Chain A
Amino acid sequence: MPVTLERIPGQEEKVSLNMGPQHPSTHGVLRLVLELDGETVVKSLYDIGYLHTGFEKSFESKTYSQDITMTDRMDYLAPLSNNLGFCLSVEKLLDLEIPPKAQWVRVLLTELTRIQSHLVWLGTHAIDIGAMSVLLYCFREREEILKIFEMVSGQRMMTSYFRIGGLALEPPLGWLKRVKAFIDKFPLRIDEYEGLLTKNPIWLMRTQGVGAVSAQDAVAIGLSGPSLRGSGVKWDLRKNQPYSSYDEFDFDVPTRTEGDVYARYLVRVAEMRESVGIVRQAMDGMPEGPIKANAPHIVMPDRESMKNSIEGLIYHFKIVTEGFHPPIGEAYQAIESPRGELGFYIVSDGSPKPFRCHLRAPSFANLQALPKMIEGRLIADVVACIGSIDIVLGEIDR
């Protein structure tokens, strides 16, 4: 369906340009309609929905446990963050206590997710602006993280590893060795990326002063995550409203005040370094104990007890055929995903399926800042700005 800008009489020399949805630097299927005066963007509209799959409708027809598999597919670059957001919301609804080991494994894996998501962002952002080689380096390290995910959950991307009440299964023996091997060399790799970009004169010219957003505008438009912190607002849910035992970890929240593309770049790179610190702390202090909450009517029993005890068999049968019944009520739990505030709002009517499950997708809100960033600037800056807000169309369109 065409989305067009109105023609202004007497200004017919302006050109309407369609960018996307099949454009390499729109990071998925984003379509922009730009009104150009020469090379300057006068007005812009964005058009989304090309990936709409109706997840929120599907949520209502599946049990809570089945819904987890769909959360992976929303933000496909940070599947474990979405798993965590959904599980925490349902656990809040159920008022469920999660054992420490499960919480720490969750923290460790979501921080690795943050690193791998930022790596995809950095590589694609750089290649959009013309620095080709960074992408190849970034994907080399991302591969390592995906192999860790595969080792832990059996899947590289669609992990579904966090379950309501804990984890799907015990992490394999020796997995921390693999994490350690990666974490020990990764800071040097960040130095490598920074060596290619941070003081590169072409990179500076393309990013400094481009797409600036003031702190006030950023809050008004609903920006969150690294994009908000790049505008000088020190707000990180891991620090300000800790969940899943983040209050036990020591880390900084990097912020910049410039609010431009370069500031957002620096914030994300600094965040990767902080994540390395969090992963290291989680690795060193990993508590022992169970990985699932003590709630047999909610958490699937392990294979042994299902086969050997009558209670296990009954609970297994009930959970698989019917699901569990949360109390009537509603819960909203937000987490700091790599892109910003990711929140699941779940309304329960007491049945085993959610009455309504809504995802507050950070990219969906962040995308609203794009017209503000690009209007009045050159068309080449559009590509830099799209990259700098790090959108994932999967969670925008849902």
Chain B
Amino acid sequence: MPDDLENNAALKKLREFDPDAVEEAQSFRGEVSLSVRAGHLIRACEFLRDAPGLAFKFLVDVTALDYYPEEPRFQTVYHLLSLETGARLRLKVRVPGDDPRVDSVVPVWPAANAFEREIYDMFGIQFHGHPDLRRILLPEDWQGHPLRKDYPIEGYR
């Protein structure tokens, strides 16, 4: 295991708090990514936000990746920032392709609202517990989800 993973305070504390939450930890170019099991996401996020010494109170960004035709097909990606320590952390959650559904983090960080709507719009992933899950950039009657890999670049004609 590389040094920056071993010394990562967030990973260490999260493992102590919930040993099953983190599936896999990776480090690339000094950025730490943690794969979190879908069922543990909300608990882990609340812990990361409130734990003293971590305080990831700022949700920078939420986005998604499509690994079509692999399964589980999607990943949702969360970028967290702690204004106290300056640390950044990336969380990832695997989402199956046949029923793309994941818990919404809006109750943890209200900032996720528009980002999750964008993912719903572009990837068709449902966010359980989102207060207002509608398309945000495309018209409501749009067919398909453009950022999926099986969506043609010029759209359906």
Contact = CB atoms under 8 A, between A and B. Distances in A.
Interface in B17-64: 28-29, 31, 33, 57-61, 63
Given A49-B136, A52-B137, A365 B28 contact: no
A329 B28 contact: yes
Nearest to B135: A49
A311 to B, nearest CB: 28
A58 B110 CA distance: 29
Interface string B135-153: 1111111000011000101
Interface string A41-72: 00000001100101011101100000000000
Instruction: Please classify the interface of chain A as helix (H, G, I), strand (E, B), loop, or mixed, using the class held by over half of its residues.
Output: mixed
Contacts of B65: 347, 355-356
Interface residues of A, number: 40
Contact of A54 (B58, B109, B135, B146): B146
A20 B28 CA distance: 44
Interface string A213-235: 00000011110000000000101
Contact of A365 (B31, B114, B137): B114
A345 B79 contact: yes
Nearest to A398: B137
A341 interface: yes
Interface in B106-157: 109-111, 113-115, 118, 122, 135-141, 146-147, 151, 153
Given A49-B137, A360-B79, A93 B111 contact: no
B77 interface: yes
Contacts of B60: 222, 334, 341, 343, 360
B9 interface: no
A397 B153 contact: no
A334 B88 CA distance: 11
Nearest to B142: A1
Contacts of B153: 57-58, 60-61
B111 A365 contact: yes
Contact of A48 (B33, B59, B136, B146): B136
Interface in B76-127: 77, 79, 83, 86, 88, 90, 109-111, 113-115, 118, 122
Given A1-B139, A334-B60, A365-B114, A95 B86 contact: no
B127 to A, nearest CB: 15
Interface residues of B, number: 37
B111 A331 contact: no
B75 to A, nearest CB: 10
Contacts of A345: 61, 63, 77, 79
Given A332-B90, A356-B65, A358-B63, A219 B136 contact: no
Given A52-B137, A347-B65, A356-B65, A332 B83 contact: no
B29 A57 contact: no
A332 B31 contact: yes
Contact of A221 (B77, B79, B111, B138): B111
A262 interface: no
Interface in A378-398: 397-398
A222 B111 contact: yes
Given A49-B138, A330-B33, A220 B109 contact: yes
B61 A358 contact: yes
A334 B61 CA distance: 11
A92 B111 contact: no
- Residue among A61, A95, A233, A332 with the most chain B CB within 10 A? A332
Contact of B137 (A48, A241, A356, A367): A48
Contact of A220 (B33, B57, B88, B139): B57
A240 interface: yes
Contacts of A360: 60-61, 79
Given A57-B147, A343-B79, A219 B29 contact: no
8 A-B pairs with least C-beta separation: A222-B111, A49-B137, A360-B61, A1-B140, A329-B28, A358-B63, A52-B137, A1-B139
Interface of A: 1, 48-49, 52, 54, 56-58, 60-61, 92-93, 95, 219-222, 233, 235, 240-241, 329-332, 334, 341, 343, 345, 347, 355-356, 358, 360, 364-365, 367-368, 397-398
Given A56-B147, A332-B88, A343-B61, 5 more contacts: A52-B137, A57-B147, A330-B28, A360-B60, A397-B137
